[in-house]
Structure 1
Amino acid sequence: MFIVGLTGGIATGKSTVAQIMREHGIPVIDADIVARKVVEPGKPAWHKIRKEFGPEVFLENGELDRGKLGDVIFNDVEKRKKLNGITHPHIYREMGWQAFRYFLKGYPFIVMDLPLLFETGHMLGYLHKVIVVTCEEDLQLQRLMERSGCTEAKAKLRIAAQMSLDKKSDMADFVIENSSSDRDTREQTIRVISVLKSYRQHWKIRIFVGFCCTVLLAGAYWLRNKSIKSLPAVA
């Protein structure tokens, strides 16, 4: 099994592309969903965030107020780094376990939806291919304002906090332009899926894993027989 990274900018349409992937039977591990899971009340990351940022970024029921915390970190690079340092190890660990379970189920490849893939760089070494979802800048700004209800100034600040779409596109293996119709985005995504399905990388990995398992089992069998033969004979 190989892993494909899905990334882009905020409000460019990664969720739309991810949903099309799921409709075609491709597992998608969403970093945002995992991130919400690891900061649930009582989890280790929840305690660390409360200690670092204080109770003011939490709701009365104890849940993390993502809006308030977002305002804090998007205005302060150092605080954003601290938050990433707290949450990312837990997020990547959980995503790794999910990927392993899909491997055991026999999927040839999976997709990881990683909004900050290039900004952090942590997962790049594990990805076989990278898809970047992009759109026109003014459309991105409009979508973000409509989606979050924030002001234009705040929306621009959040967009500026991420790497530019041009830079991400330059580092991508596939670019899906999401500025036109839903049909156009779907057609682009399906073409990418067809290319990914044509790869045979997963067979190389499975053969390698199978070879390693065979060597380990043969070694265990040899050691077992050797230990039995070394036992003193019973009269």
Structure 2
Amino acid sequence: MGLTGGIGSGKSAVSARLAARGAAVIDADRIAREVVAAGTLGLAAVLAEFGPDVAAPDGSLDRPALGRVVFADPAARGRLEAIVHPLIRSETQRRIAGLAPGGIAVHDIPLLVETGATGTYDLVLVVEAPCELRLSRLAERGLPREEALARMASQASDEQRRAAADLVIDNGGSLDDLDSRVAEVWGELLTRRDAKVAAG
């Protein structure tokens, strides 16, 4: 299953709850960090493209500095994606190949709709939350409102994500509400998994 949603919508909260129920979660954001970690060819390529201003004093990637560049400039974001997306795809495929058959795999991928990859999944789950709530969550993480709005503007709209969704979770309420909705979705996933296994 592909799991997606806009920044601040609460994908991580949903993926954690699915993992607790037994799903194998592959986190695209985590892989994206790993492929540009210190000492990797990915980091070397990013620094070669964007220069020393996006390097931290210890030589690692200064992600906030890079974010300020690429989320303000679509062309720069395209150059970054051309470097990291092939690395992310390769590592994701490696991890999927290592999963046990018959399980439920959840690929937590923020840019699923933007990359046109919705057709590669058995189903797509979209997590939603109201814009102001998302901005509030991002502010709690230390992301200034203008930067948060720029990142939101660079992503697909709620309408575009909803059009690609097989299932939607509204994460604008309480944690109890979220738990209940995840339980419903998990039941749906088990039903679909069993039907697929039965069909051979």
2:118/2:164 contact within 8 Å kept? no
Match of 2:114 in 1: 119
Shift of 1:124: 2.4
Shift of 1:71: 0.5
Determine if the alignment matches structure 1 residue 179 to structure 2 residue 172: yes
Root-mean-square deviation over aligned CA pairs: 1.3
Shift of 1:203: 5.3
Match of 2:146 in 1: 153
> Paired residue for 1:132, among 126, 132, 136?
126
Q: Could you list the runs of 4 or more consecutive aligned residues of structure 1 that deviate by over 3 angstroms after TM superposition? A: none
Please give the per-residue CA displacement for 1:31-62, whole angstroms capped at 9, x wherever unaligned: 01111111112212111101100011011211
Q: Following the alignment from structure 1 to structure 2, what is the Cα–Cα distance between the partners of residues 88 and 43?
A: 15
- Normalising by the residue count of structure 1, what TM-score does the alignment of the two structures yield? 0.81
Question: Judging changes above 3 Å, is the alpha-carbon distance between structure 1 residues 86 and 187 closer, same or farther for their aligned structure 2 residues?
Answer: same
* Identical positions, percent: 38
Equivalenced residues, count = 198
Q: Following the alignment from structure 1 to structure 2, what is the Cα–Cα distance between the partners of residues 203 and 48?
A: 46
Structure 2 residue runs of 5 or longer lacking an equivalent are: none
Q: Give the letter aligned to residue 11 of structure 2.
A: K
Larger-gyration structure (1/2)? 1
Shift of 1:151: 2.5
Structure 1 residue runs of 5 or longer lacking an equivalent are: 208-235
Match of 1:69 in 2: 66
1:163 counterpart SS class = coil
> Paired residue for 2:25, among 11, 25, 28?
28
Q: Following the alignment from structure 1 to structure 2, what is the Cα–Cα distance between the partners of residues 52 and 81?
A: 12
> Paired residue for 1:19, among 16, 21, 31?
16
Q: Following the alignment from structure 1 to structure 2, what is the Cα–Cα distance between the partners of residues 165 and 107?
A: 32
Select the structure that is richer in helix. Answer: 1
- Normalising by the residue count of structure 2, what TM-score does the alignment of the two structures yield? 0.94
Please give the per-residue CA displacement for 1:174-202, whole angstroms capped at 9, x wherever unaligned: 00000000011111111111111112224
